[in-house]
Structures are given as C-alpha cells and as structure tokens.
Amino acid sequence: MENFTFYSPTKFVFGKGMEAEAGKLVKAFGGSKVLIHYGGGSVVRSGLLDRVKASLDSEGIPYVELGGVKPNPRSGLVYEGIELCKKEGVDFVLAVGGGSSIDSSKAIAAGVVYDGDFWDFYCGKPIEKALPVGTVLTIAAAGSEGSGDSVITKEEGMFKRGASGEGIRPKFSILNPELTQTLPPYQTACGITDIMAHLYERYLTNSKDVEVTDRLIEALLITMKNEGPKVIADPNDYQARANIMWAGTMAHTNSCGVGRSQDWNSHNIEHELSALYDCAHGAGLAVTMPAVFKYVMNHDVARFTQVANRVWGVETAEEGIEAFKQFLVSIGMPSTLGELGGKEEDIPTLVKNLCYGDGRDGTISGFVTLNEEDCTKIYQAMI
C-alpha cells in the first residue's frame, strides 16, 4: 500500500425528504446569499426546486437562480454563472441536480473567487479556493456530491476536461433516494455504469498489497450487480435506489481508492466520445470499458481474474469482462460505437483529441500507458 492522505469533510444527509434541510445546512456552512444552479425542467416539474426554495425561505436566505445546465456541462453557462454571482454578491452555490449541475456549480464557485479565466483550472491548475458548494442530488452516478472533482466541456473545440481541488469539495450533500425514482431507465442505467466505472478505474492498479481496498471495491461492485437490475425492473424500489445511491457516493469519495495507483483511462477515452457525440457519459463508458479491459487485460491477468472470480462468479479474466459487458447490455446500455452515434471515420479525430488535446504528449497514462496506436485499436474494437 502506498502513502496517502484521505480527507472527505463533506456532510452527507441521506434519506426521505431530506431536501427540507437545505436551508439549515446552507446557514450552518455560512451561506447568506445563494445561487441555485440546476439543469432542465425536471427539478421544476417535480416540485423539488420549490421545496428547496421554501427551505431557504424559511431560514431567511435570499437566492438567485440559474437553470439550463446540460449533460456534459458547458463552459458558456459557467461564465454566465460567474458573472451572475459577482453581480448579485452570492456567497454560496447550491447545485440541485446530478453530476452535471454539481460540476457546473463547482466551476462557477471556483471562478467567482479567481482573478483569471476559470478554464485555467481545467488545464491543470489545482483549485484551492472557491465559494462553498452544497448539493441536492437527483441522480446516483457521477459521485461529484462527495468529490473534489469537476468535468466541464469547453465549447470551442469541444474539449472535455477535469479539474480538482479541495476548494470545490461540497460542504454538504443531500441524498434523497426518492428523488432518483423518477429517472427514466436509460439514465438510471447510465448512472449505474458510471458508478461501476469509478470502481473499476480504482481497481485497475499497479500497486501491490491492497487487500483492504480491493475488498471494499468488490463489495461496492457486488452491490451494483445485485441492486442495479432491481431498479431497472422497478424504478420505485426505494431500497434498491438507496443502496445504489450510497454505493455511488462511497465509490467516489476515494475511501476505497486510497494507497493505490488508479487507472482512469476508460474515463479519458470516453470523454472524447461524449464530447464529440454528446452522448451520455455512462453510455459512453458502457461501450468503452469492455474494449479497454480486453486490450489491457494481459498487463495483469491475475487482477482481472480476481474480479472475475469474486464479483462475477466466473473463472477467467476474459469471462469476467464478458459478464460485465452482458450485465451492462442487460440493464439497457449500448455496446457499440454506432449506438452512440459514432462512425469509424471519426476515429482519427477521437485519437488526436484524446492524445494531443489540451497539451497532452501523445499518450494517456494509467494502469497501462496508451499511445495513439493503442487508442486507435481500442476505438476500433468498439465498432
């Protein structure tokens, strides 16, 4: 196990009706004027936005609103949010939605207190300072509610890049599994896939003697394998929704990823797909992961065999990858580039953006360092 620091000072408030606590929590963490930042109409139609506003009202906390966050959130709305916060004297950003609303909120929170272009943070500058951020989560997927990470797509060039830093870790996150019950099956399955990707990316390590974190990751993968199909069969299964929601948060606070190197190549390879085709991140990952895993399997076949045995109950590394792929198909996820709207002739563009975009040197590093040829073969295997 390698040396590490683990610090996860987010307060998680979990359960039915907990969005009513939003006002009290904003106040407890020092907010006196709030930007409520959200996506489409679903949080409006469901009445969630009104409940959150009522909670702020009851604490006497004023707010402004900015909706319109899209999946794969864009830099344009971030700039708009930063301006709005500055103009209105906002000192707390409250995300209401899924990973996209949260990531966009984090970018705004960092940008408001920064003297330059917020995109600097998405080119490698760590985020040390930001307005405090809170979240009311509506989708179990990205894990952004418990992480110091954010992913934004820059509209010029459609580059999708991540930023990190303690400054943007949420002060609190409200997790009410009921709010996820209205999600369509496809988005639910995308969330399940994203959570499992966060686990697999941590599992694929070159570090040795990592029994405790291996076992924790496997525990969460087994949970997803068992609970995932339940919510696809019955979207109103509160208990399965609850198990998935906590697993999704635990998958990405890094409590099970410490002391070990991690991969994240599947995420990098997928980011080019959702940037170019604007497909759902989870759907992109469902196509990407089996292709990547088969390509890198022989780098450490014992590791792939271990997860095959312990999680999927099959014998060989290859059977484990196939079982995972079939699981993803069974919950409604795509398995080919074509299903995402991709075409073979796009592959050179995907590879170029991946390996050279935003200052990369022609390779992406992780469990295995992959060059242009490797990445080309991986994209081709998705056809």
What does the binding site for a second copy look like in residue numbers (CB under 8 A)?
A: 1-16, 18, 177, 208-213, 215-216, 218-220, 222-223, 226-227, 239-240, 242-244, 246-247, 250, 255, 258-259
Nearer to a second copy, 237 or 319 (CB): 237
Tokens at 43, concatenated? 């949080």
Closest CA to 244 of 215, 212, 271, 222: 222
Show the tokens assigned to 163. 């930023």
- C-alpha dihedral over 360, 361, 367, 370, to 10 degrees? 110
Q: Which helix (H) or strand (E) holds 69?
A: none
Please state at what angle helix 265-277 crosses helix 372-380, rounded to 10 degrees.
60
Nearer Cβ to a second copy, position 156 or 211? 211
CB nearer to a second copy: pick between 158 and 323: 323
> Whole-number minimum distance, CB 21 to a second copy, in Å?
9
Helix (H, G, I), strand (E, B) or coil at 137: strand
d(CA 31, CA 25): 9
Q: Which residue carries 């040390």 as its tokens? A: 128
Q: How far is the CB of 143 from a second copy (least distance, A)?
A: 14
**Residue labelled with tokens 């969630």:** 48
Give the shortest CB-274-to-a second copy separation in angstroms.
27
Residue 2 or 344 with smaller CB distance to a second copy: 2
Which lies closer to a second copy via its Cβ, residue 237 or residue 339? 237
Least CB distance to a second copy at residue 247 (A): 5
The residue among 219 and 381 lying less far from a second copy, judged by its C-beta, is 219
Query: Can you give the three-state secondary structure of 244-264, one letter per residue?
Result: HHHHHHHCCCCCCCCCCCCCC
Contact yes or no for 320/314 (Cβ under 8 A): yes
Count CB atoms within 10 A of the CB of residue 155.
12
- Measured from the CB of residue 262, what is the shortest distance to a second copy in angstroms? 16
Q: Which is nearer to a second copy, 227 or 272 (CB)?
A: 227
Nearest-angstrom CA–CA distance, 136 and 18: 9
Minimum Å gap between C-beta 2 and a second copy is 7
Residue 202 beta carbon to a second copy: minimum distance, rounded to whole angstroms: 14
What are all long-range contacts of 347-350, with beta carbons under 8 Å and residues at least 24 apart? Answer: 347/376, 347/379, 347/380, 348/376, 349/276, 350/272, 350/273, 350/276, 350/375, 350/379
Shortest distance, CB of residue 306 to a second copy, whole angstroms? 13
**Residue whose CB is less far from a second copy, 178 or 322:** 178
